[in-house]
């Protein structure tokens, strides 16, 4: 404004330059283009609100050379920009012809150009002025106009104008196409709306308006659903939106489905919980044999809930091998409480929306599995089992385990938020129970919210009782044999247990019993008369030759073979750790799909043996001209963990000293480079595996003595447990009394005593 006032008081000449950034409110000289226009102010009219209207006439192109002043307005030194003489040739005339044709297309497509300017442009023969006039009168962005202004050659200038016009033609073509399609759609909608209005009028004339609309029942359902006040107001608001929508709108089905979900959820409906500890204990004992610790924990939960009325305790997580009764115990808990039972399998779930639901903006959106389960149950306090929680996966769609954090936290789940509902739902009355085979794959934050209840494998006696009391009657009923007089002898069931199954649970045991019962059913239908009592000979007749050996350990004592103990998600297992020696260059070969931790344990065991070689009477250079190979069958099963370190060291000592190892003794423990035996995990499962394999003695670290009370009394009474602190004690216990290795260990112990 000040610059304009100064120009009006003198020669009315100003410099007009475009800003590089249009958003800058008060630009400096370096924020405008150097190539600009010198103009003369022809008219300046002051208007309301302090604005002015200016009419200017461009005189000549100029270049800003330097700055004279920044305040109170920009004052610059300019120099003329070279204006070359336009020379016409065939190329220039072709460009002019192309530019004029494009300009005519722009005019025909509806560009707004004054009639006077149109006459001048269409009759212009000077290419330089033609470029300027077209650029000034057609809608071209500032950057393109600036490049046209800065052009120094007529070919360049005409080419820039041609490209700008081409882009404008494309834009106008797209806009015309969009407008045409929109017009068609509007015509179609108007026609449909008109026809529907006619249909309503016809129905009214025929007095056929008694038929209710699909949406007429929603207000009554909203009132009957007993919704909380906040959620009820939201539902009514959505219903008003639904009424205002055209019936042909696709969104009506989405809104109606949402309202139906809100009405179907049991916001205040609960099953009456009748807690009777004696009755609950009776039901649990009827359905399951053993499992004393899980049953005791469930009864404690019921007792506290009966006293308090509502208990916000930790979520129970049943962890143990497959087939140990985790899922079926959840059903028994629901029966003892008088509540409905829901089970959702989370194995293989990768999408977070499976837990929290999809946003309503997506086509086919639904609530998550938790809200769907609550709606299916029809009550807000069911027993909800989340099965296989350790097998949840995560990918680009999110982490479902993170979505479970809120649902499984008693302090947060009173306002559980589902993405589809968009309103909080109270899950605090739900009794959540989760199951898992392995705890290692559960995220720490989720594991911290749950109380872990271990489900150990069954002993042989427990399996026998389960088979007699549960599996055989159930299978007889399923096969239609419950009234045919058939029965299994104890010796036959023991035969199946020992020689046809090898598991921590009873799933395979039930499968083998079912196989025999199916054959009995077939013979019964055929009219043959099989023996009513199934004996061991009959088991082999129906199931074929024995699949397993009862004693899984080696059949004879051998050099370099040690019986180790392992713990997997399927329960405890025994391992035959083998070591052998061959000519070579000091390499250690490890096979059997060993994990990184187990490989490190093998290297630590070898390092320990090398460090005490001279004390054991071995050649200290035994490793230089030989390779050692350690193998852990079965080679197709991956194995990992540090607990086989001590067994590997014993195998190497046995191999070097040519001393046999007692095959009936199981060994577990982590080894250090100094020969110390460190504490390991899974003692209960390993002891059960050793008991199933027929071992009589187990050597374990001294620090694991505290884990022994968790081992079933039947196993403790039938086996000997020896606790050790270092490898000297292990070698003296495992190596047989004959051979030089025994003398080596004794000599080393005597030296230590001295």
Q: What is the pLDDT of residues 21-42, one digit of tens each?
A: 888 888 888 888 888 999 999 9
Grade residue 741 by pLDDT with cuts at 50, 70 and 90: very low
Local structure of 84: helix, strand or coil: coil
Please state, rounded to an integer, the average pLDDT across all residues of the chain: 83
DSSP state of 50: G
Question: What is the structure's pLDDT at 575?
Answer: 85
For residues 444-448, average pLDDT:
87
pLDDT of 182 strictly over 80: no
Domain 460-543, CATH 1.10.8.60 — does that match?
yes
Q: Whole-angstrom Cα distance, residue 656 to residue 741?
A: 8
Quick check: 564 and 575 in contact, CB under 8 A? yes
pLDDT of 553 strictly over 60: no
Beta-sheet strands, E only, within 390-536: 416-417, 424-425, 431-436, 450-454, 487-488, 533-534
Quick check: 376 and 417 in contact, CB under 8 A? no
Q: Which of these, 597, 594, 571, lies nearest to 690 by C-alpha position?
A: 571
* pLDDT one-digit tens code per residue, 557-568: 788 888 888 877
Grade residue 497 by pLDDT with cuts at 50, 70 and 90: confident
Q: Is the backbone peptide bond immediately before 72 cis, with ω within 30 degrees of 0?
A: yes
Q: Classify strands 431-436 and 720-724 as parallel, antiparallel or unpaired.
A: unpaired
* pLDDT one-digit tens code per residue, 223-261: 777 788 888 888 888 888 887 777 667 788 888 888 888
The hierarchical CATH code for the domain 2-80 is 2.30.130.40
62 strand-pairing partners: 36, 80
* pLDDT one-digit tens code per residue, 707-730: 888 888 888 888 899 999 998 888
Question: What is the structure's pLDDT at 600?
Answer: 92
Question: What is the structure's pLDDT at 312?
Answer: 61
Distances (CA, A) of 553 to 93, 640, 666, 751: 100, 20, 9, 34
Q: Whole-angstrom Cα distance, residue 425 to residue 429?
A: 11
Contacts 24+ apart (CB under 8 A), 709-717: 710/454, 710/456, 710/683, 710/684, 711/683, 711/684, 711/687, 712/456, 712/459, 712/462, 712/688, 714/459, 714/461, 714/462, 715/459, 715/687, 715/688, 715/691
* pLDDT one-digit tens code per residue, 266-298: 888 888 777 788 888 888 888 888 788 888 888
Q: State which fold the 558-753 domain adopts.
A: Ribosomal Protein S5; domain 2 (3.30.230)
Grade residue 515 by pLDDT with cuts at 50, 70 and 90: very high
Q: Of 74-78, 466-470, 596-600, 692-696, which gets the smallest average pLDDT?
A: 692-696
For residues 102-110, average pLDDT:
84
Written as six digits, the tokens of 734 are 């495992």
Instruction: Count the alpha carbons within 13 Å of 395 in the hemisphere toward its beta carbon.
Output: 8
The hierarchical CATH code for the domain 90-173 is 1.20.58.1480
pLDDT of 317 strictly over 80: yes
Q: Of 200-209, 572-581, 645-654, which gets the smallest average pLDDT?
A: 200-209
For residues 1-21, average pLDDT:
88
For residues 89-93, average pLDDT:
84
Give the helix ranges, DSSP H, for 52-122: 90-108, 115-122
Grade residue 14 by pLDDT with cuts at 50, 70 and 90: very high
Q: What share of the chain is helix, strand, coil (3-state, %, to 5)?
A: 45, 20, 35
Active-site residue among 643, 736, 750, 754?
643
Residue with the bigger pLDDT between 629 and 91: it is 629
For residues 318-334, average pLDDT:
86
pLDDT of 590 strictly over 70: yes
* pLDDT one-digit tens code per residue, 125-145: 888 888 888 888 888 888 888
| Residue 686 is among the residues annotated as catalytic for this protein | yes
Q: Whole-angstrom Cα distance, residue 227 to residue 524?
A: 59
Question: What is the structure's pLDDT at 460?
Answer: 77
For residues 438-443, average pLDDT:
83
Grade residue 215 by pLDDT with cuts at 50, 70 and 90: low
568 strand-pairing partners: 571
Give the helix ranges, DSSP H, for 151-265: 154-205, 218-224, 229-244, 251-264
The hierarchical CATH code for the domain 277-454 is 3.40.50.300
């Amino acid at each position: 404004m000040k610059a304009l006032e100064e120009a009006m008081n003198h020669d009315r000449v100003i410099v007009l330059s475009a800003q590089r950034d249009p958003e800058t409110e008060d630009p400096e000289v370096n924020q405008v283009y150097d190539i600009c226009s010198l103009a003369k102010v022809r008219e300046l009219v002051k208007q309301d609100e302090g604005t002015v209207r200016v009419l200017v006439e461009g005189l000549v192109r100029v270049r800003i050379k330097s700055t004279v002043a920044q305040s109170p307005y920009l004052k610059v030194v300019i120099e003329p920009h070279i204006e070359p003489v336009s020379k016409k040739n065939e190329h220039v005339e072709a460009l002019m012809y192309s530019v004029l044709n494009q300009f005519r297309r722009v005019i025909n497509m509806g560009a707004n150009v004054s009639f006077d300017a149109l006459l001048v442009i269409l009759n212009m023969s000077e290419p330089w002025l033609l470029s300027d006039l077209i650029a000034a009168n057609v809608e071209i962005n500032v950057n393109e106009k600036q490049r046209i202004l800065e052009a120094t050659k007529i070919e360049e200038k005409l080419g820039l104008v041609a490209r700008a016009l081409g882009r404008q033609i494309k834009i106008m073509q797209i806009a015309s196409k969009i407008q045409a399609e929109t017009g068609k759609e509007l015509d179609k909608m108007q026609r449909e709306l008109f026809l529907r209005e006619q249909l309503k009028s016809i129905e009214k004339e025929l007095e056929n308006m008694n038929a209710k609309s699909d949406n007429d029942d929603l207000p009554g359902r909203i009132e009957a659903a007993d919704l909380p006040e906040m959620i009820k107001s939201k539902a009514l608001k959505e219903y008003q939106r639904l009424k205002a929508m055209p019936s042909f709108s696709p969104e009506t089905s989405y809104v109606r489905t949402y309202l139906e979900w809100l009405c179907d959820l049991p916001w205040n409906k609960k099953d009456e919980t009748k807690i009777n500890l004696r009755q609950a204990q009776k039901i649990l004992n009827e359905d399951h044999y053993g499992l004393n610790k899980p049953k005791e924990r469930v009864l404690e939960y019921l007792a506290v809930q009966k006293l308090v009325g509502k208990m916000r305790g930790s979520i129970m997580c049943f962890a143990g091998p497959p087939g140990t009764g985790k899922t079926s115990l959840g059903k028994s808990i629901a029966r003892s409480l008088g509540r409905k039972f829901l089970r959702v399998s989370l194995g293989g779930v990768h999408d977070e929306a499976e837990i929290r639901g999809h946003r309503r903006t997506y086509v086919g959106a639904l609530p998550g599995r938790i809200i769907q389960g609550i709606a299916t149950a029809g009550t807000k306090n069911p027993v909800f089992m989340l099965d296989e929680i350790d097998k949840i996966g995560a990918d680009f769609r999110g982490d479902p385990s993170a979505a479970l954090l809120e649902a499984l936290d008693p302090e947060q789940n009173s306002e559980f938020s589902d993405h589809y509902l968009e309103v909080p739902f109270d899950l605090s009355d739900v009794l959540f129970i989760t199951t898992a085979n392995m705890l290692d794959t559960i995220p720490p934050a989720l594991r911290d919210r749950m109380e872990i209840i271990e489900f150990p494998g069954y002993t042989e006696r427990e399996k026998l009782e389960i088979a007699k009391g549960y599996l055989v009657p159930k299978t007889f009923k399923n096969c239609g044999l419950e009234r045919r007089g058939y029965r299994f002898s104890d010796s036959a069931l023991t035969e199946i247990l020992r020689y046809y199954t090898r598991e921590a649970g009873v799933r395979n045991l039930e499968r083998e019993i079912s196989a025999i019962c199916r054959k009995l059913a077939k013979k019964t239908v055929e009219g043959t008369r099989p023996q009513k009592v199934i004996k061991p000979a009959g088991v082999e007749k129906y199931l074929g030759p024995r699949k397993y050996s009862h004693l899984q350990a080696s059949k004879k004592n051998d050099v370099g073979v040690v019986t180790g103990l392992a713990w997997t998600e399927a329960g405890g297992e025994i391992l035959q750790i083998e070591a052998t020696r061959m000519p070579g260059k000091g390499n250690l070969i490890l096979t059997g799909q060993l994990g990184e931790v187990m490989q490190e344990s093998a290297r630590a065991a070898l390092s320990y043996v090398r460090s005490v070689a001279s004390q054991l009477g071995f050649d200290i250079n035994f490793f230089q001209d030989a390779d050692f190979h350690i193998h852990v069958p079965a080679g197709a099963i991956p194995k990992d963990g540090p607990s086989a370190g001590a067994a590997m060291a014993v195998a190497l000592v046995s191999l070097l000293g040519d001393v046999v190892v007692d095959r009936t003794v199981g060994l577990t423990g982590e080894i250090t480079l100094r020969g110390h035996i460190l504490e390991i995990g899974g003692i209960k499962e390993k002891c059960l595996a050793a008991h199933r394999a027929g071992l009589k003695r187990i050597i374990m670290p001294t620090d694991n003595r505290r884990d022994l009370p968790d081992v079933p009394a039947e196993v403790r009474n039938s086996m000997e447990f020896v606790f050790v602190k270092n490898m000297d004690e292990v070698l003296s216990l495992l190596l047989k009394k004959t051979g030089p290795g025994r003398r080596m260990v004794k000599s080393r112990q005597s030296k230590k005593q001295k």
